[in-house]
Amino acid sequence: MKHPSLAPWLRKRLPAGGEAERVQQLLDRGRLHTVCASAHCPNLFECFARGTATFLILGPRCTRRCRFCAVAKGTPAPVDGGEPGRVVEAARRLGLRYVVVTSVTRDDLADGGAGQFARVVREVHEQLGALVEVLTPDFGGRRESVAEVVASGPDVYNHNLETVARLYAEVRPGASYERSLRVLAEVKRLAPGMVTKSGLMVGLGEERGEVRGALADLRAVGCDAVTLGQYLAPSPGHLPVVRFIPPGEFAELAAEARGLGFRGVAAGPFVRSSHGAAELFACLGAVTAAASAS
């Protein structure tokens, strides 16, 4: 399928200044990876220029071959025991008070990498006193892995549904729509007060009703916050964009999500699961406070 021409509302100006270069140098010195760079995020320069980044732990190579994702595939390196400490040090140097941590999928590990997530969460809490949002893979459906991450006490547990049920086999081979919903349901079962979050891409050929169905499924498992963003093909070898969703339609989707009861919603062409995560978390607190006062 031919990729459509880029919609005019998807053109961004690069921020000026040297902060982005400083952030990249700091990450390079710490031998750390970011999903910003590995996934070719369109917000990379904006985030780096603001002195923020989303840490990608457990190496830069993923054991799955999702057809939407630019992260490198292949045989991963062994788990790096020094990585949690380097994440803490980089977060300290960046002055982060809200640290977002994600990972590649590590189906080669018995725990799927849950132990490394837990170590990072604990070290950030203990050494920085910062808030932590984790964006985890599905851990192959292992409930004990989800439990290990939950027990470490992240402030937000994020797991992306990514797309609608009908497109899973094409978009996320090796993953399961139902399994991803079960991850979020398990978090709420173990820690009912823990904030859960998920994200959806649109523009892959899904129907509007299917998006509403996915949002309803997320609410049915207690998901508190959701992000909706435009899928952008990282290369001609990835799945093509079927449609560019106009900003007005994103506003309609956001209203529908709020109507379903999501406490936090971010929707727009450049919205990504970890982009603006601290701001969305702050909105969750504002919504809770308003509800308590009414």
Burial class (CB in 10 A: 0-12, 13-18, 19+), 33: buried
Specify the CATH number for the domain of residue 208. Answer: 3.20.20.70
Q: Residue 245 domain-assigned?
A: yes
Residue 62 is given by DSSP the state: B
What range does the domain containing 95 cover?
14-293
Strand order in the sheet with 264-268: 33-34, 55-57, 98-103, 131-135, 156-158, 195-202, 225-230, 264-268
Beta strands in 41-194 (DSSP E): 55-57, 98-103, 131-135, 156-158
Q: Residue 284 domain-assigned?
A: yes
Q: Residue 3 domain-assigned?
A: no
Cβ count near 114 (within 10 Å): 26
C-beta of residue 34 within 8 angstroms of C-beta of residue 48: no
Q: What's the confidence (pLDDT) of residue 2?
A: 55
Quote the pTM value.
0.92
The torsion angles phi and psi of 21, rounded to 5 degrees, stand at -65, -40
Distance CA 208, CA 213 (A): 9
Q: Work out how many domains the chain is built from and give that number.
A: 1
Per-residue pLDDT of the chain (294 residues; tens, 9 = 90+): 555 667 777 776 666 567 878 888 889 999 998 877 776 777 777 778 888 889 999 999 999 888 888 778 889 999 999 999 999 999 999 999 999 999 999 999 999 999 999 999 999 999 999 999 999 999 999 999 999 999 999 999 999 999 999 999 999 998 999 999 999 999 999 999 999 999 999 999 999 999 999 999 999 999 999 999 999 988 888 899 999 999 999 999 999 999 999 999 999 999 998 888 999 998 887 555 445 454
Q: Which helix (H) or strand (E) holds 196?
A: strand 195-202
Q: Residue 272 domain-assigned?
A: yes
Q: Residue 33 domain-assigned?
A: yes
